[in-house]
Amino acid sequence: MARKLKSKPEKWWAGLNQPKAEAPDITIVGLPYDGAVCYRKGAAKGPDVIGRISSEIPAVLETGEVLKELVIRDDGNLPFGKNFVAAFPKLERAIDQRAARSFVLTLGGDHSVVIPVHRAFSKRATEKIGLIFVDAHTDLSDRFDGSSYSHACPLRRTMETERFDPKQTILVGTRCFERAGLEFIQQNEMKMFPAYEVADRGMQRIADEIVKQFADLQNVYLSIDIDALDPAFAPGTGIPDAGGLATRDVITLIRRLHPLPIVGADLVEVAPPLDVSDITSFAALRIITEIFGLVHRRKEQRKRFTVL
């Protein structure tokens, strides 16, 4: 299901998109679903708007690193029909097929869309997966508003999979707690860097601690809810909680994760109908570009080792 973007496909993603690439470095898929929100809808529009404006950025990081050899394949939006939960098995297979050939970046959609994505990665892995979960909320409710698949529940569902584990999960930017989520964190001794701690200590130190904790893992996954950002930086989201991270904090975090084997990522909850002048979509695009940088550096590193 291709996106209906105004620009030509080869212009998407800073001109790096090669829709027919058989061995891309990154495959991008959208899950435009927001049927699990508890407050305001709009996130279903996220993948298309972020994709549309992606042709407006250069293939150069702020460090001066040029991404020209990075091969990106945008596979459009995955179809899921009228019943999103019923489509989980099909979505898991679709993600698994893409993860077999490349790094996968999933764009939401509300946060519930990561449930089948994380299940797919869990089934692929043979060892524990480290999870860096950047979000204003814990998303650890077992049920919320009568549903086990609310966007308040995805991390709880992820913790039920075989390869994800509370002991190998780190929450970053947290500042809004449901009682059930807080109890789960305390009972399982989950590592957490709340937003206030990021403000007090600085993201560089925190990112370095995350790298140290996950240094021995073979697989690390990065999950980002745009509402981790303060509403000053990302007003276009369903629940814009004050007191959050700066965009610079998230950029710093991603850049310093370079030593880790990041195998996949998702970015969710961008709601363009609730946005102002595409501020939130452009913030998301800036974060995505840093994720591109992670994959690019790994590719360059492999090339150097091959030459040696």
SS3 track for 200-234: HHCHHHHHHHHHHHCCCCCEEEEEEEHHHECCCCC
In b/e form, how buried is each residue of 58-96, taking b as 16+ CB within 10 angstroms? ebebeeeeebeebbbbbbbbbebeeebeebbeebbebbb
The answer to the question of residue 3 being in a domain is no
Note whether residue 54 is domain-resident.
yes
Structural domains counted in the chain: 1
Q: Determine, yes or no, domain membership for 1.
A: no
Of 198, 206, 201, nearest to 173 (Cα)? 198
Predicted local distance difference test score (pLDDT) of residue 7: 60
User: Measured between alpha carbons, how far is 26 from 14 in angstroms, rounded to an integer?
Assistant: 13
Tell me what percent of the residues of the chain surpass a pLDDT of 90. Answer: 85
> Across residues 142-168, what is the average pLDDT?
88
Please compute, for residue 90, the number of CA atoms within 13 A of its CA located in the half-sphere on the CB side.
Answer: 10
Residue 246 within a domain:
yes
Confidence tier at 153 by pLDDT (50, 70, 90): confident
Closest CA to 223 of 145, 301, 109: 109
In angstroms, the Cα distances linking 210 to 55, 161, 229, 253 are: 33, 22, 19, 9
Residue 201 CB coordination number (10 Å): 12
CATH number at residue 133: 3.40.800.10
* Pair of tokens at residue 73: 């394949």
Query: Is residue 188 in a domain?
Result: yes
Facing residues of 268 across strands? 225
- Neighbouring residues of 139: CB distance < 8 A, sequence distance ≥ 6: 111, 133, 151, 152, 153, 154, 155, 156, 181, 225
Instruction: Dump pLDDT digits (tens) for 241-267.
Output: 999 999 999 999 999 999 999 999 999
Domain-located, residue 239: yes
Q: The domain containing residue 282 runs over which residues? A: 9-307
Task: Work out the number of other CB atoms within 10 angstroms of the CB of residue 244.
Answer: 26
Question: pLDDT tens-digit profile of 63-114?
Answer: 999 998 899 999 999 999 999 999 999 999 999 999 999 999 999 999 999 9
pLDDT of 132: 98
pLDDT the model gives residue 3: 55
pLDDT value of residue 104:
98
Kindly state whether residue 102 falls inside one of the protein's structural domains.
Answer: yes
Assigned domain for 2 exists: no
Has residue 146 got a pLDDT over 80? no
